[in-house]
Amino acid sequence: MWGEIAAIVTAILTVIGMGGGYYKWRKARLRSDDVLSWSNQVIEVLQILWLVCIGTGPFKNEEYSQEKLAEIYIRISVLIEQGRLFFKNHRPDDYGQDKPKAYRGIRPEILDQLVLAHQIAGVWNEANADGRQRLSVLAEQCVKNFVSLAQDEVGRQAVASKYVNKEGKSVSLSRKMSELPEGTDGKFAEHYTLIEMYKAIPLDSPSN
């Protein structure tokens, strides 16, 4: 009897081990860790581009914005080429036969977001006020579209704790402020002082 139970347990553990091995093999084959690392870099660059476009925080300083814009322009170009290693073009036999192999066909949607962002960074300086407003909207769409596509590709299918992923509530700063109990002004005096100190920092010192 015990021999039969041991044989069943062994068989179950073998199946579990095979399943774990297949998961590791599939993950390695899809290069999920590499794609995640690349995606994080893209998100960082696209988000900075959008912040530059809307001119918020330290990006109110034109000189600092120009410096970051030049850096973004170069980095996006590199990230596009790196992304071609993970996402091949569609229908390579139908378009671009005169091009090198990696550039034939139709570019995947996830890379389109980077190409559009690269174009935004390239024309920003020549755009007028109306044009910049439109470019800002497109920059926001780029980062949100990319995050959505990247989440489908490398996002987790489950979470370790049910509490961190429970449905959230719509966040409103003004509502949160109004919900604070009466008599708490003194408790937050230090925080308000820090805020005023931050506001007093010259915009030409973005590294502070």
Q: Which residue has the tokens 């530059």?
A: 52
The answer, yes or no, to whether residue 145 has pLDDT greater than 90, is yes
Same domain, 61 and 6: no
Report how far residue 115's alpha carbon sits from residue 87's, in angstroms, rounded to the nearest whole number.
Answer: 14
Predicted confidence at residue 2, as pLDDT, reads 64
pLDDT confidence of residue 175: 83
Q: Is 115 among the domain residues?
A: yes
Together in a domain, 25 and 102: no
Same domain, 5 and 56: no
Task: Please tell me whether residues 35 and 63 are part of one structural domain.
Answer: yes
Do 56 and 149 contact (CB within 8 A), yes or no?
no
54, part of any domain: yes
The predicted model gives 139-151 an average pLDDT of: 97
User: Is 90 exceeded by the pLDDT of residue 146?
Assistant: yes
Region for 183 from its dihedrals, namely left if φ exceeds 0, alpha if ψ lies in -120 to 50, beta otherwise: left
Are residues 135 and 36 part of one domain? yes
* Token representation of residue 29: 């084959």
In a domain, 66, yes or no: yes
- Which of 5-9, 132-136, 172-176: highest mean pLDDT? 132-136
Radius of gyration of the chain (CA): 25
With 0-12 / 13-18 / 19 or more C-beta atoms within 10 angstroms meaning exposed / middle / buried, residue 193 is exposed
Percent of the chain at pLDDT exceeding 90: 52
At residue 180, the pLDDT reads: 81
Whether residues 17 and 86 share a domain: the answer is no
Rounded mean pLDDT, 156-177: 78
Whether 26 and 54 share a structural domain: no
Comparing CA positions, the residue from 135, 141, 48, 31 lying closest to residue 88 is 31
Whether residue 73 sits in one domain with residue 99: yes
Answer whether residue 6 shows pLDDT above 70: no
Q: According to the model, what pLDDT value does residue 130 have?
A: 96
Best CA proximity match to 154, nearest among 59, 70, 63, 86: 86
Residues 44 and 125 occupy one common structural domain: yes
86 close to 34: Cβ distance less than 8 angstroms: yes
Of the pLDDT bands very low, low, confident and very high (cuts 50, 70, 90), residue 187 is low
Domain holding 15, by residue range, is 1-30
Q: Are 24 and 124 part of one and the same domain?
A: no
Is 52 in contact with 62 (CB distance < 8 Å)?
Answer: no
Average pLDDT over residues 32-56: 95
Give the number of domains in the chain. 2
Confidence at 24, pLDDT banded by 50, 70, 90 = low
- In whole angstroms, give the CA distance from residue 114 to residue 120: 10
Entry pTM: 0.70
CA gap 169, 59 in Å, rounded: 30
Do residues 39 and 150 lie in contact, with contact meaning Cβ atoms separated by under 8 Å? yes
pLDDT of 13: 60
Q: Same domain for 46 and 114?
A: yes
For the chain, give the mean pLDDT.
81
